[in-house]
Amino acid sequence: MAEKLPPEIIEGLECVSRLHEQAVCDHEKCREFSEKLSALLVRVEDMKFYRMADRLMSILINCSPKEASHCEKATLVGEMMKEVTKETQKAAGK
């Protein structure tokens, strides 16, 4: 079962999930996604939502922005983001 996260964290997850959809073929957006997800991870850890922090860390492990090449794990990272976002929305009753 997903942890019940505060609305601002859920909104942050939704935002980075949408950003990832735009980032697939755009290196700058990809880099922005990675940075925003990293910042969100720090906030989640500070709030002691360790299960969610572990999941976000797993996503970041698979995310490595590269210049001038397509992300090999874009589909995997996108699916992981969708799953996490969906679970948190469900836990929040959205």
pLDDT value of residue 37 = 96
From first to last of the 94 residues of the chain, give the pLDDT tens digit: 567 899 999 999 999 999 988 877 777 888 899 999 999 999 999 999 999 999 999 999 988 766 655 677 888 888 999 999 888 888 888 6
pLDDT value of residue 70 = 63
Count of alpha carbons within 13 angstroms of residue 48, beta-carbon side: 0
Give the largest Cα separation in the chain, rounded: 41
Between CA 92 and CA 84 the distance in angstroms is 12
pLDDT value of residue 69 = 59
Every domain of the chain and the residues it spans? 7-89
Q: How far is CA 16 from the centre of its chain?
A: 6
> Which element (helix H / strand E) includes 37?
helix 27-46
